[in-house]
Amino acid sequence: MEYYQIEGGVPLQGEYRVKGAKNAALPILAATICKGGVHEIYDCPRIGDALILTRILEQLGAGVSWEKDCLIIDSRSLTGNAVPKELMEKLRSSVFLLGSLLARTGEATVYRPGGCKIGKRPIDIHINGLRELGFEILEDEEKVTCRGKCRGGRFHLSYPSVGATENLMMAALSGESQTILENCATEPEIIDLQGFLRSCGFGVYGAGTSRIFIEGSRGKNDSMYFIMEDRIEAATYLMAIAGTGGEGILTNIRPELLEEVLTVLVRMGVPLRKYGDRIWVKKPDDGLGRTALKSPGILMTAPYPGFPTDCQPQLLTLATKAKGLTTIREEIFDSRFTHKKDLMKMGANIEICGKNAIIKGTDVLYGRSVSARDLRGGAALVLAGLMAEGITRVEDIYHIERGYEDFPQGISQLGGLIETKNERETKEKSESIGEIAGIDFTDGSHICRAVPSCI
Ligand code: EPZ
């Protein structure tokens, strides 16, 4: 079992180029089968979820190959329209194949999607929309089968769901009709999906607003597309630099994509400068050279352009060392404080009351052995390890690697001390040191050098 070993207390310094957006890449990968063609996709992040999605595309008969930084998907000949259960359950974005398979073949069978365990995450808005647009729906406990053509017309989403908006955009490409989706999510990644669909010759308009207009399926075949930058990855690195008292520049990131995050960081006393597609960030200083984060007060997550729920766990970590009392209200998902226990183990002071996390800033976090439970909660524990004194071990890192490409490499590039270790190697090394020293280290106590009682 692999884990990250982090030596905290090192200020991150330097420059980091933000990678392609996970939440733009996933719907776009699904969309490559809306029409048969050869699609060249640049800046697709090499993350767990994207690799699983390409395996699903291969199972459906598409050709997948990486040529340097270009991912080529050849979807000219599909051999099926049922998504394998064991792959479906690994990620949430497999649900997008409902829409793209309906656009291409008029039939799709998908199992209930998996993904981060951050709440119930039903797909009722997806299903209601497909039914309203004229598709026949057969569903049972474990899977959903849809068939037919989009008859067009209007559908009002009961909630601006990101995934449902994207799924229905793709399903509406089937048939010759014209469809208007209302009360859509307005996240930037939806504009990126529209951009990709247009590069395939489809008529899609209005993404980024609450009303999206989709014309029936037409369009040329091949396409070339560059995926937008990952605003959530950018926010994660900004908080890591500020939280460790460093200084750095992020490139390949338009500041307007994460305005609300930047506003909150400024409220916390973090000096920031925006230049074109770069953001400069520095440690908040108390005038005596010490890092002095201030509480941002009360903060609520909200659909774009509100504070993104995908940055809430990372901000919660930052708030554990911010002077004063911070209240974070999670309005999007019903259990997204999964890393609270581990942060408390590290010395944080957090109370959960319903949808609210109330955090009293503390001066020090201590390195501990912790476990990731989902993607952003895991990333938030890495931030905590970087901000803590001593050694932190983060286990179950597969959650983090689903959504961050080469996270340890990016942190190391900024001077952070983080290594991916393997339990077996560590154990063998401990045993050999133990044999020499005549001490049994295999209980893991050797990991934390700074505070022996930390494990
Ligand atoms: C997308 O998930 C993102 N994932 C999530 O990012 C992100 O947190 C979320 O949007 C909100 O911004 C991808 O884009 C792959 P939703 P999605 O549908 O589409 C409820 C990350 O860390 N809902 O907007 O699943 C749902 O339960 C991930 O990168 C229904 O009730 O989010 C939730 O409470 C995590 N019925 C709320 O809406 C439905 O049919 C928002 O969900 C659909 C959603």
pLDDT tens digit string along 9-39? 999 999 999 999 999 999 999 999 998 999 9
Q: Name the residue of 90, 93, 121 whose CB sits within 8 Å of the most ligand 1 atoms, as the mutation to test its pocket.
A: 121
Whether 93 lines ligand 1, by a CB cut-off of 6 Å, is: yes
- The catalytic position among 116, 146, 184, 448 is 116
Distance (Å) from CA 86 to ligand 1 centroid:
21
Euclidean distance between CA atoms 272 and 428, whole angstroms: 45
Tell me, yes or no, if 184 is annotated catalytic. no
Does 86 have pLDDT greater than 80?
yes
Where in 136-197 does DSSP place strands (E)? 136-139, 143-147, 153-156, 178-182
Task: Supply the residue whose CA is at minimum distance from atom 43 of ligand 1.
Answer: 123
As a whole number, the mean pLDDT across the chain is 91
Write down the pLDDT at residue 423: 80
Euclidean distance between CA atoms 216 and 234, whole angstroms: 36
Write down the pLDDT at residue 166: 98
C-alpha to C-alpha distances, 114 to 27, 288, 377, nearest whole angstrom: 15, 48, 17
Q: Angle at which helices 162-171 and 22-31 pack, to 10 degrees?
A: 20
**pLDDT tens-place string over residues 231-283:** 999 999 999 999 999 999 999 999 999 999 999 999 999 999 999 999 999 99
Q: Worst-scoring range by mean pLDDT, 75-79, 233-237, 451-455?
A: 451-455
Write down the pLDDT at residue 447: 39
Write down the pLDDT at residue 427: 66
Task: Supply the residue whose CA is at minimum distance from atom 26 of ligand 1.
Answer: 121
Task: Supply the residue whose CA is at minimum distance from atom 31 of ligand 1.
Answer: 122
**pLDDT tens-place string over residues 374-420:** 999 999 999 999 999 999 999 999 999 999 999 999 999 999 999 99
Q: Counting atoms of ligand 1 from 1, which one is nearest the CA of 125? A: 40
Euclidean distance between CA atoms 99 and 172, whole angstroms: 8
Pick the more confident residue, 119 or 213. 213
Task: Supply the residue whose CA is at minimum distance from atom 21 of ligand 1.
Answer: 310
Does 94 have pLDDT greater than 60?
yes
Euclidean distance between CA atoms 348 and 243, whole angstroms: 14
Q: pTM of the predicted model, to two decimals?
A: 0.92
Distance (Å) from CA 379 to ligand 1 centroid:
18
Q: Worst-scoring range by mean pLDDT, 319-323, 423-427, 444-448?
A: 444-448
Does 454 have pLDDT greater than 90?
no
Whether 68 lines ligand 1, by a CB cut-off of 6 Å, is: no
Write down the pLDDT at residue 220: 67
Instruction: Classify each residue of 23-50 as buried b or exposed e, where b means 16 or more C-beta atoms within 10 Å of its C-beta.
Output: bbbbbbbbbbbbbebebebebbbebbbb
Distance (Å) from CA 46 to ligand 1 centroid:
21
- Taking the alpha carbons at both ends of the chain, their separation in whole angstroms is 18
Write down the pLDDT at residue 141: 82
**pLDDT tens-place string over residues 144-159:** 899 999 999 999 999 9
**pLDDT tens-place string over residues 277-315:** 999 999 998 777 666 899 999 999 999 999 999 999 999
Whether 163 lines ligand 1, by a CB cut-off of 6 Å, is: yes
Write down the pLDDT at residue 435: 60
Q: What average pLDDT does range 421-429 have in this prediction? A: 75
Write down the pLDDT at residue 433: 57
Q: Name the residue of 332, 335, 402 whose CB sits within 8 Å of the most ligand 1 atoms, as the mutation to test its pocket.
A: 332
Say which DSSP state 226 is in: E
Q: What average pLDDT does range 68-81 have in this prediction? A: 92
Distance (Å) from CA 215 to ligand 1 centroid:
25
Write down the pLDDT at residue 426: 62
Euclidean distance between CA atoms 330 and 414, whole angstroms: 30
* 53: nearest Cα among 26, 71, 22, 77: 26
Q: Could you tell me if 407 and 46 are in contact, meaning their C-beta atoms sit under 8 angstroms apart?
A: no
Euclidean distance between CA atoms 107 and 147, whole angstroms: 4
The model's confidence at residue 177, banded by pLDDT at 50, 70 and 90, is confident
